Amino acid sequence: MQDSLSAASLKLLFYRYKDTVYYPIVNVGILFAVGAFLLFQIVIPQVTQWFSIQREVDTIKKNIKTMQDNASFLIALDQQALDSDVQTTTNAYPFEKDYTGIINSLTQTASRTGIALPDFNLSIGDSAPGDVAAKYQLVLSFAASLSVAKEFIAELEKTLPVAAVTSIENNGDDTSVSLEFYYHGFPNIIINQKEKLTALSQQEQALLAKLKTWQLPVEIVQEDVAVAEDASESASFPAPL
């Protein structure tokens, strides 16, 4: 009964207002409402989704291009040269405590300058996990003049691992030199395939070339290790910590 009444009421309103100015206004209003609904509920979301998909497609294309470039870059690398560069940088700034490298450096420098390698005090810092620097602290006391000690330092700066001179004290013919050798834990390497790999800059290549000239030849290192072992019998070196 109620449905019939509603239908009759609508028919009555239709015939009553179809020839009036309200009829087209109502039709326009209904069309506007339907159009607004379709625009905001269907058209705009679809257009927004399309642009979002296009952005994702562009990002994926860019990432694929980056990975292709990285693959080409890695394929073009000389594996032997790369291993040599890694070994040089590791010798200069070790990942772990390098007692042998320090003894070789001191022995080679002493032989170049004619200084008898003295007894020395060695203290070692702790290295936390990750790329955290730590250091060896060395104090060398020479029975030599300040000029001879400076010559020793100048030669030491040309060997690996690299060292920093923190202080020099001279008392007549006795000179005390404080040094620091650095090392760090194994870095936490995270490979991001979305980042483009690049070659070393000219400044980095120049630094690497300089480090290679400071690297001791294998034959000399082996000879110096033998000398160091012989010298350790006369208590020239402290026992490894």
CATH number of the domain within which 119 lies: 3.30.70.60
Decide if 60 is inside a domain: yes
Q: Is there a single domain that holds both residue 51 and residue 103?
A: no
Q: Answer whether 125's CB lies under 8 Å from 136's CB.
A: yes
Q: How many CB atoms lie within 10 A of CB 179?
A: 22
Alpha-carbon span 139 to 69, nearest angstrom: 49
pLDDT of residue 118: 67
Domain count, the chain: 2
Mean pLDDT of 20-36: 76
In degrees, rounded to 5, the angle at the alpha carbon of residue 114 between the alpha carbons of residues 113 and 119 is 100
In degrees, rounded to 5, the angle at the alpha carbon of residue 122 between the alpha carbons of residues 116 and 123 is 170
Q: Is there a single domain that holds both residue 124 and residue 21?
A: no
Per the listing, tokens 């020395």 go with: 120
Alpha-carbon span 137 to 119, nearest angstrom: 14
pLDDT of residue 235: 35
pLDDT of residue 216: 67
Most confident of 122-126, 166-170, 221-225: 166-170
Decide if 21 is inside a domain: yes
Alpha-carbon span 232 to 226, nearest angstrom: 10
Look up the pTM and report it. Answer: 0.62
Q: Is there a single domain that holds both residue 57 and residue 100?
A: no
Q: Answer whether 123's CB lies under 8 Å from 137's CB.
A: yes
pLDDT of residue 148: 84
Look over the chain and give the mean of its residue pLDDT values, rounded to a whole number. Answer: 77
Q: What is the pLDDT of residues 142-155, one digit of tens each?
A: 787 888 888 888 98
Q: Is there a single domain that holds both residue 203 and residue 150?
A: yes
Residue 113 pLDDT class (50, 70, 90 cuts): confident
pLDDT of residue 65: 92
* 173, two tokens: 């013919």
Q: Is there a single domain that holds both residue 43 and residue 106?
A: no
Q: Is there a single domain that holds both residue 2 and residue 35?
A: yes
Most confident of 85-99, 113-127, 177-191: 85-99
Decide if 123 is inside a domain: yes
Q: Is there a single domain that holds both residue 218 and residue 160?
A: yes
Decide if 179 is inside a domain: yes
Give the least confident one: 8-22, 164-178, 188-202: 8-22
Looking at per-residue pLDDT, the higher value among 238 and 5 belongs to 5
Q: Answer whether 155's CB lies under 8 Å from 213's CB.
A: no
What are the strands, taking DSSP E only, across 49-195? 120-124, 133-142, 163-171, 174-184
Alpha-carbon span 14 to 122, nearest angstrom: 104
Looking at per-residue pLDDT, the higher value among 49 and 219 belongs to 49
* Length of the chain in terms of residues written: 241
Mean pLDDT of 37-62: 87
Residue 10 pLDDT class (50, 70, 90 cuts): low
Residue 31 predicted with pLDDT over 80: yes
Give the least confident one: 47-56, 207-216, 228-237: 228-237
pLDDT of residue 220: 45
Decide if 12 is inside a domain: yes
Q: Which residues, at least 6 apart from 96, have a Cβ–Cβ distance to it below 8 Å?
A: 127, 183, 185, 186
Nearest to 89 by CA among 225, 222, 214, 239: 214
**Single residue among 76, 102, 129 that ends a domain in this structure:** 76
Q: What is the pLDDT of residues 85-108, one digit of tens each?
A: 999 998 898 888 888 888 888 888
Full domain range(s) for residue 66 = 1-76
